[in-house]
Structure 1
Amino acid sequence: MSIDVAFDKNHIWHPYTSLTQPLPVYGISHAKANKLYLENGKALIDGMSSWWAAVHGYNHPKLNQALIEQSQKMAHVMFGGITHQPAVELCKKLVELTPAGLDKVFLADSGSVSVEVAIKMAIQYWHSQNQPKKHKLLSLKQGYHGDTFAAMSVCDPQNGMHSLFNGIIQQHYFVESPSSGFYDEYDSAAINELETCLKNHAADIAAIILEPIVQGAGGMRFYHPHYLKQVRDLANQYDVLLIADEIATGFGRTGKLFACEWADISPDIICLGKALTGGYMTLAATLTTKKVADGICNGQAGVFMHGPTFMGNPLACAVANAAIALLFENDWQNQVMQIERWLKHALLPLANYAQVKQVRVLGAIGVVELNQAVPMAEIQAFFVEQGVWIRPFGKLIYLMPPFISQQTDIDQLAAAIENWLKS
C-alpha cells in the first residue's frame, strides 16, 4: 500500500510546519544502514541521523534483536513500585559512563522531559534547603533545550523558536553565548557577562543550564572548552547548580563520549536522550549527584515530584543497552574521528563560496553557515534529487551523519551542498 501523501498534507501536522501552507513531505518506505528509501526505491544517504539520534543507522540486526527479545518478555510495565533488569542494567551503564559523581538516575521518555526533570530537580533541591527564592535559571542566548514549557523558558528568548510564548512562560536570566569559538584563542572576557549576572542575582538562581561545547538547534555554534570550565568554577563559587544538556552531544557526537569531557568538568545534573537508544525509541535520562538527590529527598516533600507513565519502559531500556554496547563494539571514537577528517576535507573548501559565512566542523558535526536563509521547500527538493537527506534550518546547512557513514557517503553529502551553492 502506498503512502497517502494527500491525506498527510490535509490532516497531519509535521514539526514546525504550517497546515495551510505545508512544506512538502517525502514518503519513506523503509530504511537500512545509513540510507532512507523513497517509495519509488530511490535511496537517500542520511545526513541527519534522524535529528541526531540514529547514530548506528537503521534496521540494525542487534538493535532489532534486542527489541524482539524484550517484547517477548514484557513491552511495558509501570515503574512505580516495580523494577526490571533492562532498567537496572541501563542505569548501571549510565552511572559508569557519565562524568564522576552523577550516580542517581531518573528515566523519562523524551529530551524535553529530561530538561523539565532537571529544572524541577534544581528548584526542588533549593526548596528543600529552605531557599525557595532560588527558582530562576541562568541560560545562554542561542541555546535550545526543547519545546515543552519549562524547556522553552530556557531557550533563546528572542532569536529562538518560542518568542511567541515569552509573555506566558517563566522569565529567566540570559547572557550572551560564548564569544570564543572552539578552535579560537580563548578570550578571557567571554565569561564576564555570566559572572556579572551571578554576582547580581545568585540569590535567585537555582541553576545554570547550557549545552556543553555545542549549541545545537539554536545556531550550531561550537564554543571554547575553557568557557565551560569557568562556568563550572563560577557555579561552585556562587552556590548554584550546573545543568548540562547533553541530549544532542552525548554518546560521542563531538568526539568525546560526553561534551563535558572537553573541559574535564562534571555537572550537578546531566540530561541525555536522542542517541541513547540509537534512535529506535524515545527515551531520556536525567542524572544527578548524591548531594542533590539527598537534598530533595530530605526536604518537605520527601520525594521527587515527577513520574511519567512510560518511565523506564523495558523495550526502550533494552534497546538502549544494545545501542550503548554497539557504540563500544564499533569503536565509536575512531568512527567519529574518521567522519571529522572527511567532513573537514569535504566541507572546509566550501568557505570560498560568496554565499557562505563560515564552515565549521567538530566531531561528527559539519556546519555550512550561509549569509541568508535557505528556501526550505526548494533546497529540500534539490537535495532529494541529489540522492541525499539533509534538512537545513534558517541559514544553516548542517550534517550530523550516522557514525557508520563511509567517506563516499560524506563526499556525496558535501557534493550536494556544493552543487546547491553552484546552482
Structure 2
Amino acid sequence: MKQNNLQFNSKHIWHPYDSISKPLPCYMIQSACGVYLKLDSGLKIIDGMSSWWSAIHGYNHPILKKHLVQQVNNITHVMFGGIIHKPALLLCKELLKILPKKLKCIFLCDSGSVAIEVAMKMALQYWNNNKKTRRIFLTIRNGYHGDTFSAISVCDPKNSMHKLYKTILPKHFFAKKPKIFFKEKWNNYDIHSFLDLIVNNQSTIAGVILEPILQGIGGMQFYHVEYLKQVRLLCNMYDIPLIIDEIATGFGRTGKMFAYEHANIIPDILCIGKALTGGMMTLAATITTKKIAHQISNNYPYKFMHGPTFMGNPLACSVAQKNISLLRKNIWKKQVKRIEKYFQNKLFLLLNHPRICAIRVIGAIAVIECYHNINLKLMQKFFVNYGVWIRPFKQIIYLTPPYIIKTIHLKKLIQSIKLAINDNSLFIF
C-alpha cells in the first residue's frame, strides 16, 4: 500500500520546482511533532528546515493546536467582502503591537507571492492616483520574491529559476547585488549601481523592492546593514515607496523580529508570510502607511482592486494571532541567540574543508556554500537515512531549524553535514 501511494504520487502529483515525468523521490510523512517528522516507515527525522522557514515553534504546538481547534468549532471560513470577524480584528491588533507606528493599514492575503503582488499593485495605484505614470520597479540582482508573475518580474532575470518567462515579463531595473557582507567594513562603492539607477530613473520608478539583509533563494547571501540604510535614504530623497519583503526573514529568524530592524529603518510597504501562523496554515499580509493607503483609496470611483476568496480566513487569522502573542513573550530571542551561537561555534570549524567555499550564519540561519553543485536526489536520501531533513539547492546546504530545537538535535544536523561533504558521490563534478 505504501509503495502504491508513492507510485501514485510520482505519476499524478506535482511537487515544488519539480518535473512530473522524472520527479525527485518523495518521502511519505505520517505525522509531525516538535522538531520531528515521522515517516511512514516509522523513522523519525529531525527537521532542519522548519518547513521552509515557517514552523518556528515546531510541529503540533499544543497552544497553537488548541487555539485552532477552538476556532474550527466556531467558524472555519466566511467571505471577507462586507464582513469582519473577531479573529481578523484580534490578529490585526496584535500585528500593530509589533510593527512601527508608521505602518497602520493591513491587507490580509493567502501567500507570500500574493503579498508581493498586492504590494506592487499598491505602489502602482498610488502613483496612478497621483496622476503620474510609473510602472517600473527597482530592485537588486539575486533577489527572489515569489512565483506569481509580478513577483517573478522582480526576481533576478538571469540567475533566478524563473528566467524561462523573462521574454514575457515586464522589464524592471536591477542594480548589482550587494557585495559587502553583513559584518564587513562598509564601503560606499557597494551602493553605486543602485544610486545610479535611482538618480537617472527617479521619475519612472514606482517603487523599490528588496529582501532585507538576507537574499534567500538567490544564494543565501547576507549583505551590509548600511546598504539598506542607504536605500531607505535614497527612497526618502526621491519620494519613492520602499517595499520590504520579510516573508522569509520575519518573526525572529535573523535575530530581530524583522530583518529591516538591523538597519533601524522602516519600510513604506511591508510583506509578511511563512512564519505568520507559526507554520500551521497559509496566511500572508501586506501592510502600508496611511499616506499610501489613503492616496490609493481617495480617488473615487477607484478602490484597491484585489480580493482573494480566502482573504482573512478565520482559522488562519486565529492561529496567527496566537502565534504573535507567543512571540511577544520574547522567548524566541534567547532561542535564536542560542542557535546562532551554536552554529558559529561548530560550523566555522569547517571553513578549511576543501569542498566548502563559504559559511554564513545569522540568527537561526546557517549557510554552507560548496564549490560544486549538489546531487539533490542522493544528498536528500543520505540525510534522511541519517535521520535529518535538510533540503539543499544548487551549491547550498542550509539550515533554518525551529526555534525550539535542542542542542542534541543541532549536533546531529551538523554531524550529518560533516559526513555529507566528505562523500564524493553526493556532488556533481
* TM-score greater than 0.5 by the shorter chain: yes
Rounded to whole Å, the distance in 1 between the matches of 2:332 and 2:364 is 10
What are the equivalent positions in structure 2 for 1:261-300 lying under 5 Å apart?
A: 261-300=261-300
What are the equivalent positions in structure 2 for 1:94-109 lying under 5 Å apart?
A: 94-109=95-110
Residue matched to 1:15: 16
Rounded to whole Å, the distance in 2 between the matches of 1:302 and 1:113 is 21
Rounded to whole Å, the distance in 2 between the matches of 1:18 and 1:165 is 17
Residue matched to 2:325: 325
**Counterparts in 2 of 1:371 and 1:300: CA distance versus 1, 3 Å:** farther
Deviations 1:353-389 (A, max 9, x none): 1010100100000000001110010100000111000
Residue matched to 1:37: 38
Rounded to whole Å, the distance in 2 between the matches of 1:81 and 1:356 is 55
For 1:289, the aligned partner's letter is T
For 2:326, the aligned partner's letter is L
5+ unaligned residues in a row in structure 2: which ranges? 424-429
1:352 alignment partner, SS class: coil
Rounded to whole Å, the distance in 1 between the matches of 2:156 and 2:333 is 31
Structure 1 position 330, deviation (Å): 6.1
Deviates more, 1:176-185 or 1:248-257: 176-185
5+ unaligned residues in a row in structure 1: which ranges? none
Q: Tell me if structure 2 keeps the 8 A contact 1:179–1:187.
A: no
Deviations 1:232-265 (A, max 9, x none): 0000111211000000010000000001110110
Residue matched to 1:123: 124
For 1:192, the aligned partner's letter is H
Deviations 1:112-137 (A, max 9, x none): 000000000000000000012x1110
For 2:80, the aligned partner's letter is F
Rounded to whole Å, the distance in 1 between the matches of 2:79 and 2:366 is 40
Residue matched to 1:153: 153
What are the equivalent positions in structure 2 for 1:338-357 lying under 5 Å apart?
A: 338-357=338-357
Q: Tell me if structure 1 keeps the 8 A contact 2:142–2:159.
A: yes
Structure 1 position 170, deviation (Å): 1.2
Structure 1 position 421, deviation (Å): 1.2
For 2:223, the aligned partner's letter is Y
Rounded to whole Å, the distance in 1 between the matches of 2:179 and 2:360 is 15
Rounded to whole Å, the distance in 1 between the matches of 2:38 and 2:326 is 24
1:174 alignment partner, SS class: strand
**Counterparts in 2 of 1:321 and 1:291: CA distance versus 1, 3 Å:** same
Structure 1 position 109, deviation (Å): 0.5
Q: Tell me if structure 1 keeps the 8 A contact 2:95–2:324.
A: no
1:342 alignment partner, SS class: helix
Rounded to whole Å, the distance in 1 between the matches of 2:50 and 2:242 is 28
Rounded to whole Å, the distance in 1 between the matches of 2:300 and 2:203 is 21
**Counterparts in 2 of 1:330 and 1:99: CA distance versus 1, 3 Å:** closer
Residue matched to 1:398: 398
Residue matched to 1:202: 202
What are the equivalent positions in structure 2 for 1:201-220 lying under 5 Å apart?
A: 201-220=201-220
2:374 alignment partner, SS class: coil
Q: Tell me if structure 1 keeps the 8 A contact 2:383–2:389.
A: yes
Deviations 1:268-307 (A, max 9, x none): 0000000000111100010000110011011254311110
Q: Tell me if structure 2 keeps the 8 A contact 1:34–1:58.
A: yes
For 1:113, the aligned partner's letter is V
Q: Tell me if structure 2 keeps the 8 A contact 1:358–1:370.
A: yes
Q: Residue 167 in 1 paired to residue 134 in 2?
A: no
For 1:254, the aligned partner's letter is T
Q: Residue 68 in 1 paired to residue 69 in 2?
A: yes
Residue matched to 1:308: 308
Q: Tell me if structure 2 keeps the 8 A contact 1:346–1:410.
A: no
Deviates more, 1:95-104 or 1:307-316: 95-104
Deviates more, 1:87-96 or 1:323-332: 323-332
Rounded to whole Å, the distance in 2 between the matches of 1:387 and 1:350 is 21
What are the equivalent positions in structure 2 for 1:53-92 lying under 5 Å apart?
A: 53-92=54-93
Q: Tell me if structure 2 keeps the 8 A contact 1:128–1:300.
A: no
Residue matched to 1:376: 376
Rounded to whole Å, the distance in 2 between the matches of 1:257 and 1:341 is 18
For 1:159, the aligned partner's letter is N
Rounded to whole Å, the distance in 2 between the matches of 1:299 and 1:143 is 33
1:80 alignment partner, SS class: coil
**Counterparts in 2 of 1:116 and 1:253: CA distance versus 1, 3 Å:** same
Structure 1 position 77, deviation (Å): 0.6
Rounded to whole Å, the distance in 1 between the matches of 2:351 and 2:411 is 16
TM-score for the superposition, normalised by structure 2: 0.97
2:345 alignment partner, SS class: helix
**Among the aligned pairs, what percent are the same residue?**
51
Rounded to whole Å, the distance in 2 between the matches of 1:301 and 1:276 is 33
Residue matched to 1:230: 230
Structure 1 position 99, deviation (Å): 2.8
Structure 1 position 348, deviation (Å): 1.1
For 1:105, the aligned partner's letter is I
Residue matched to 2:426: none
For 2:243, the aligned partner's letter is I
For 1:189, the aligned partner's letter is Y
Residue matched to 1:24: 25
Rounded to whole Å, the distance in 2 between the matches of 1:345 and 1:386 is 22
Residue matched to 1:137: 137
Q: Tell me if structure 1 keeps the 8 A contact 2:246–2:270.
A: yes
Rounded to whole Å, the distance in 2 between the matches of 1:202 and 1:214 is 25
2:38 alignment partner, SS class: strand
Structure 1 position 189, deviation (Å): 1.0
Rounded to whole Å, the distance in 2 between the matches of 1:99 and 1:136 is 27
1:103 alignment partner, SS class: strand
Q: Tell me if structure 2 keeps the 8 A contact 1:100–1:266.
A: no
1:167 alignment partner, SS class: helix
**Counterparts in 2 of 1:172 and 1:301: CA distance versus 1, 3 Å:** farther
1:346 alignment partner, SS class: helix
Q: Tell me if structure 2 keeps the 8 A contact 1:125–1:296.
A: yes
For 2:382, the aligned partner's letter is F
Deviates more, 1:271-280 or 1:59-68: 59-68
For 1:269, the aligned partner's letter is I
Residue matched to 2:186: 186
